[in-house]
Amino acid sequence: MRKKVLVLGGNFGGLHVALGVRHELEEDVDVTVVAESDRFLFTPSLIWLPFGKRRPADITFALAPTFGMHGVEFVHAAATSIDARARLVHTTKGVLPYDYLVIATGYRNTFDALPGFADADGAYTITTLADAIRAGEGWRGFLDAPGPVVIGATQGAGCFGAAYEFLFNTSYQLKKAGLRGRVPLTYVTTEPFLGHFGIGGLPGGEKLLKLFLKKEGIEAVTGVAMEEIASGKLRLADGRDLPYAYAMIVPPFTGQEVVRTVPGLADEAGFVPVRDTYQSRGFPDIYAVGVAAAVQVPWTAAIPVGVPKTGFPTEVQARVAAANIAAQIRGEEPAKHKEFGAIPAVCVMDAGNNGVLILADRMLPPRKFGVMIPGPQSHAAKVMFEKYFLWKTRHGYVRLP
C-alpha cells in the first residue's frame, strides 16, 4: 500500500512540505493537508494592511485549487487530537491515519504575557489577519483623534522584524497624514540593543537603527519588560508609564494546544523539539517545521528575547523535511540536515518608502558574514518579492527559489 503523509497546516511550512513530498515521489504517495483556514496568507504583508496598502484578498489565496492541481488532498478542518502511538489524527471532519505526520500548525498569540492586553482600548497587534484588520480599524479611528503612538514587542517575543517594519511604516503614514512631529512616536522593546532582532544583532546594525530612529524623530526604550497595559497607558517594568492613543505590540507566540497535549511530542510552550532533519526527537515518523518547531535560544538574558521563525527559514526547513520523508518512504535513512541556526538570514525590512536588506551566512551566531544595506530599493524589493512569492506559491512551484 502507498504510504500516507498527513500535514497539519497549510501556510508556509505545510504547503511547502506537502508539495515537496508530492514532487519527490509523484504518484507513489498519498499526501493530505488538514488546515483550519482554507486560505494561504502571506504574513509578511500584514504590516501594510492596517494602513490600507493591502486588502485581505491581495495577500491570500484559496488552498484547495493549489493542492488539487498537484494531486494533494485538502481537508478544511481543525485537528482536535493526535494519537502518536496509533498514528491517527482526530479532526472536526473525522479521523485520519498517517504513516508520516508533519506539524506545521504555526502559533497562537500569548496575550497574557502582557496583563490587560486583551482588553485595552487602542492597543492592537498585527500577527494574524484578524488582528491586522482590527488594527486597521483602530488606525482609522486614531486619525480622527490623534495622540501618542507606541510600537513595541513584549518580553519573550521573537518577531521583532514586524515590530520594526510597522514602526517605520507608522512614521511614514504619520508624515503622509501631516502628523509627524505633532504626535510622539515611541518604540519599546525587550531587545538589549536596537537591531538585536532576536538573532544577536549584525555588524553596524545598532548604529544604523539609531540613525533611522533619529531621522524619523522616534524615541526608543530598549532592554525593558512591559508590566501592564490599560486603555491609554502602557506601564513598563522600570516604573515608567507611556501614554498612547494607538499602540501596536507584538506578543510572544505559543504552539497550538493540539500539539502541546501530545505526551512526549512538544515542550511546555507547545513547540516540537526536532533534530536537524526536522524529525521529532521523540517520534521519528513525525516532523515539525516553521514556528511549530522548537528553537534553542543561544543566549541567556534577564529579560527573555525570542528567536524569529520567519518565512525563509521555514521554507528551508520544509524542503529538508520533504526530502527526508521521501527518503524514509523509499526505505532510506534521512540524509538532509540543516540546523535552524545554520540557515542563512535573508530578510527585507520595509520602512514605508525606504528599508533595509539584511543578509547573513547564519541565522544565529557564530557568523562569518553579516550585513545590513539601507535604501529605498529595499521597499521595491519587498513589493516585488511579495508578488513573486504569491505567484510561485499559488501555482505550487515550490522548487523555485
CB contact at 8 A, 259 and 265: yes
> What would you report as the CA-atom Rg of the chain, rounded to the nearest whole angstrom?
21
Q: How far is CA 122 from CA 140, 177, 234, in A?
A: 11, 19, 11
The residue annotated as part of the active site, out of 347, 348, 363, 372, is: 347
Nine-digit cell string for 81: 487530537
Helix 311-329 and helix 12-25, axial crossing angle in degrees, nearest 10: 30
CB contact at 8 A, 271 and 318: no
Residue 26: partners with Cβ closer than 8 Å, 6 or more residues away: none
Beta bridge partners of 358: 347, 372
Helix 160-176 and helix 205-216, axial crossing angle in degrees, nearest 10: 20
d(CA 318, CA 341): 15
The residue annotated as part of the active site, out of 123, 159, 162, 229, is: 159
The yes-or-no answer on residue 78 being catalytic is no
The side-by-side arrangement of strands in the sheet containing 88-91 is 79-83, 88-91, 94-97
What burial letters (b/e) apply to 369-400, b meaning 16+ CB within 10 Å?
ebebebeeebbeebeeebeebbeebbebebee
Nine-digit cell string for 248: 501596536
Phi, psi values for residue 123, rounded to 5°: -110, 130
Coil vs helix vs strand at 370: strand
Q: Which of 62, 5, 64, 2 is nearest to 32 (CA)?
A: 5
Neighbours of 340 (CB within 10 A): 21
Most distant CA atoms of the chain, gap in Å: 69
Beta bridge partners of 113: none
The yes-or-no answer on residue 66 being catalytic is no
Active site residues: 159, 347
